Chains A and B, each alone.
Chain A
């Protein structure tokens, strides 16, 4: 049996009176690309923040390669690389400085120069963060997620705000990571992205897992579940709409 890179059981998290995550359980096998899909505010980000050790679950357990990422933060953070939604850098920090600085946080870091080149930021090495385009900022945040040579990478909205070419470039990168045996958790609300990249996806709605499985399975389930899909070719997008609105659980 393959070891689990991420194992979440019965996770619950509240902010004040608002329940962000009601009950989420999922398992991500090592080497998998796992998608977390769902509408805005469904609890996707909170779920992965618990996996990143940034939040303490109210209930349930979270394990990253068997480690509690909140209690044993120091150990878990060496294993997990993250790209956070809406996280920036100081305006006047350059690309090379940022990557080199973050590299120094991890004993087993990759070569910052090679990573910058790989992400197509070579010409921007000396450029300050404020002067980067949205896509370049995004690539820099991907670089910071990978510089520590992590075994699990969590991308929260990897391609939001990217143009089509840059999206495809990011997809290629995710596939390369998988080829190297890195586990990838991809939070997205683009079904096409998940359908193309993910080995399995979990569909989260109202803080619960509405469906989980291989993309084709979800499509089959939606198509055979009496959902009102009339398109000749049923996509994961259609399946998600059907599974989160029509079909009884």
Chain B
């Protein structure tokens, strides 16, 4: 007779730890296999950086004294973060819920909370690595100095990522299906990127538009990142706005989140 459920192999006390790690590795593999998110979220900003670097011609008064490529670096970093937080995470996670994957995990000792943790870990890691890539390439190839205020830059970056990820979780909470979550994420992505200055750099926006944009998550994010790229500490107002969004989106997502 064939043996189905006997012979427990290697009882491992550290199973829970390795389960969490395996979930992260699996989610990362799945992200790579999707191809498009990495091309769009990492490849596209890198390509844009190269194009701008190639056409950049020294400091520009209309860009607040920055060169074109220097003015765009924070925008591209915001682009990467927004892509994974708003277009990637909500669609994937709402899709997992829609397809019963979260429910299935909740029937195991590990639980779906760890899958959420793995998703967040993978998205944060990719954004951090892509950001480092943008900074290094900008410095090495296009003479954009690394952040003059590294600690301030890190604080601004972390708050940018948390504000966007909590917004992404909120989308995942209210959207019924992965498809709806993806569409909602993109609908948020476009106007938010507008205020980040993707189409019109913040320095060239009309004053009224710019001051309205300062209160949006990505408007504040790019302003904070831009300041810390020079040797200044990011303005407290921008950091406070990002922290405020993080708390507000986080609380709403927490309240509205459903596992099934």
| A54 contacts B by Cβ under 8 Å | yes
Check B1 against A90 for contact (C-beta < 8 Å).
Answer: no
Q: Which of B52-102 contact A (CB under 8 A)?
A: 96, 99-101
| Complex CA distance for A245 and B4, rounded to whole angstroms | 39
Docked-complex contact A82 and B107, CB < 8 angstroms:
yes
Per-position binary interface string of chain B over residues 8-34, scored 1 when its CB falls under 8 Å from any chain A CB and 0 otherwise: 110111010011001100100110011
Contact in complex: A105, B4 (CB < 8 Å): no
Give chain A residues whose Cβ lies under 8 Å from the Cβ of B9: 109-111
Q: Is A182 an interface residue (CB 8 A)?
A: yes
Give the A-binding residues of B (Cβ under 8 A). 1-9, 11-13, 15, 18-19, 22-23, 26, 29-30, 33-34, 96, 99-101, 103-104, 106-111
**Separation of A77 and B26 alpha carbons in the complex (Å):** 22
Q: Mark A60-100, 1 if CB is under 8 A from B, else 0.
A: 00000000000001100110101010111110110001001
CB contacts (< 8 Å) of B26 on chain A: these are: 93, 97, 101
Decide if A84 touches B107 in the complex (CB within 8 Å): yes
The answer, yes or no, to whether A190 is at the interface (CB within 8 Å) is: no
Residues of chain B within 8 A of A115, CB atoms compared: 4
Say yes or no for A168: interface residue by CB 8 A criterion: no
Asked if B5 and A177 sit within 8 Å, CB to CB, the answer is: yes
The 6 A-B pairs with the shortest beta carbon distances in the complex, nearest first, are: A87-B100, A108-B8, A88-B99, A107-B15, A92-B33, A87-B104
**Could you tell me the distance between the alpha carbons of A92 and B37 in the complex, rounded to whole angstroms?**
14
**CB-based contact B30/A92 at 8 Å:** yes
Judge whether A176 and B15 touch: CB under 8 Å: no
CB B178 to nearest CB in A, in angstroms, measures 11
Q: Which among A74, A82, A180 is the interface contact of B5 at CB below 8 angstroms?
A: A180
* Given A104-B15, A110-B5, A146-B4, residue A84 in contact with residue B104 (CB < 8 A): yes
B101 CB, min distance to chain A CBs, angstroms: 6
Name the B residues within 8 Å of A73 (CB-CB): 111
Query: Is the pair A87, B101 in contact by a Cβ cutoff of 8 Å?
Result: yes
Chain B neighbourhood of A101, CB < 8 A: 22-23, 26
Q: Give the residues in chain B near A109, CB-CB below 8 Å.
A: 8-9
A82: B residues at CB distance < 8 A: 104, 107
Contacts of A108 in B (CB 8 A): 8, 11
Q: Give chain A's interface residue range (CB within 8 Å of chain B).
A: 35 or more
- Give B103 Cβ to nearest chain A Cβ, in Å: 6
The answer to whether B108 touches A150 (Cβ under 8 A) is no
CA distance A73 to B110 in the complex (A): 10
Known: A82-B104, A148-B109. 16 other contacts (CB 8 A): A77-B107, A87-B101, A88-B99, A89-B99, A90-B30, A92-B30, A92-B33, A92-B34, A97-B26, A101-B26, A104-B18, A108-B8, A173-B4, A176-B2, A179-B1, A182-B5
A residues 102-122 with Cβ under 8 Å of B? 102, 104-111, 114-115, 118
- Are A107's CB and B107's CB within 8 A? no
In Å, the complex CA distance between A107 and B4 comes to: 17
Question: Which residues of B sit under 8 angstroms from A23, Cβ to Cβ?
Answer: none
Residue in B closest to A88 when the chains form the complex, CB atoms = B99
Decide: A87 and B103 in contact? CB cutoff 8 A.
yes
A sample of 26 cross-chain residue pairs with beta-carbon separation below 8 angstroms, ordered by A number, consists of A52-B107, A54-B103, A54-B107, A77-B108, A82-B104, A84-B100, A84-B103, A84-B107, A88-B99, A90-B30, A90-B96, A92-B34, A93-B26, A107-B8, A108-B8, A108-B11, A109-B9, A110-B4, A111-B9, A146-B5, A149-B8, A176-B2, A177-B5, A180-B4, A180-B5, A180-B6
Residue of B nearest to A174 (CB): B4
Is A57 an interface position by the 8 A CB rule? no
Query: Known: A101-B22, A146-B5. Contact between A106 and B101, CB under 8 A?
Result: no
**B4: which A residues are within 8 A, CB to CB?**
110, 115, 118, 146, 173, 176-177, 180
Residue of A nearest to B114 (CB): A105
Distance (whole angstroms) from the CB of A239 to the closest CB of chain B = 31
- Bound state CA distance, A17 and B23, in angstroms? 38
Q: Would you give the 0/1 interface string for A154-192, flagging 1 where the beta carbon is closer than 8 Å to chain B?
A: 000000000000000000010011011010000000000
A207: interface (CB < 8 Å): no
Is B101 within 8 A of A88, CB to CB? yes
Closest chain A residue to B7, Cβ basis: A110
> Is A53 part of the binding interface, using a Cβ–Cβ cutoff of 8 Å?
yes
Q: Which residues of B contact A148 (CB under 8 A)?
A: 108-109
Is A110 within 8 A of B22, CB to CB? no
Q: How far is the CB of A131 from chain B (nearest CB, A)?
A: 13
CA distance A101 to B18 in the complex (A): 9
- Enumerate chain A residues within 8 angstroms of B2, measured Cβ to Cβ: 118, 176
- Complex Cα distance, B105 from A102, in Å, reads 9
